[in-house]
Amino acid sequence: MEEKQMIAMPRIGEAAPAFTAVTTQGNINFPSDYQGKWVILFSHPADFTPVCTSEFMTFASMQPEFKALNCELVGLSVDGLYSHIAWLRTIKEKIEYKGMKNVEVNFPLIEDITMEVAGKYGMIQPGESNTKAVRAVFFIDPKGIIRAIIYYPLALGRNFDELKRALIAMQTADKFQVAMPADWRPGDDVIVPTAGSCGTAKDRMEKKDPDVTCYDWFFCTKKLPKDKI
């Protein structure tokens, strides 16, 4: 009988698996070093590859925007520290791409030659590659809980505007106890819980709150202006 390899796949709502690691910014103790902050832990397949380079330049350029949202970035690949350092230096010194140049990657990039961390986070997906991490993204909240996970294949670069949108959406959902409709962006109406804080279904259908719009008893939205977020 064929033996199936068990692969750890962390799940939404679970504590982020803990690890210590060597990175381009020194050693880290994950996730405890990030308590009280959001963190995006993401993997890329390999240093000195084109899609990964375009991703790192984009993410590094957006780092101040993520910091302003109380979110730190942590990268990982199964390459070693000296490869990481040489690649990041090449990016800074030589690569000009889509108006980005002289890009310094100031967030930690984990070396994971043993694949220990990649294994814990289900980043090695053998159907795609046995030797490289797929493009995984873990959103981890200030309490160390995994809140969202995205996996992309090797040949497809991620959309970093979407990562930022998802982060803002989750932070806003937490703060206002609401849910976000399809394609929500700051300033758009948000979905109110089916029962509770916004009155009964009957109240809502009768339009007692002018900021609430009900499409049916189970589907009500309310205004949440951008400047209130």
Q: Which residues bind ligand BEZ (CB under 6 A)?
A: 45-46, 49-52, 132, 154-155
Shortest distance, position 6 Cβ to ligand BEZ, whole Å: 25
Name the E strands within the chain: 19-23, 26-30, 38-43, 71-77, 109-111, 135-140, 146-152, 190-191, 212-216, 219-222
Shortest distance, position 217 Cβ to ligand BEZ, whole Å: 48
In angstroms, the CA 165 to CA 186 distance is 8
> Pairing relation of β-strands 109-111 and 71-77?
parallel
Q: Based on CB atoms, which residue is closest to ligand BEZ, 47 or 141?
A: 47
Shortest distance, position 76 Cβ to ligand BEZ, whole Å: 14
Pick from 109, 158, 119, 116: nearest CA to 7: 119
Shortest distance, position 74 Cβ to ligand BEZ, whole Å: 18
- Told to judge if 52 belongs to the known catalytic residues of this protein, a careful annotator would answer yes
Q: Based on CB atoms, which residue is closest to ligand BEZ, 54 or 213?
A: 54
Rg (CA), the chain: 20
Q: Based on CB atoms, which residue is closest to ligand BEZ, 50 or 193?
A: 50
Q: Based on CB atoms, which residue is closest to ligand BEZ, 135 or 204?
A: 135
> What are the residue numbers of the active site?
52
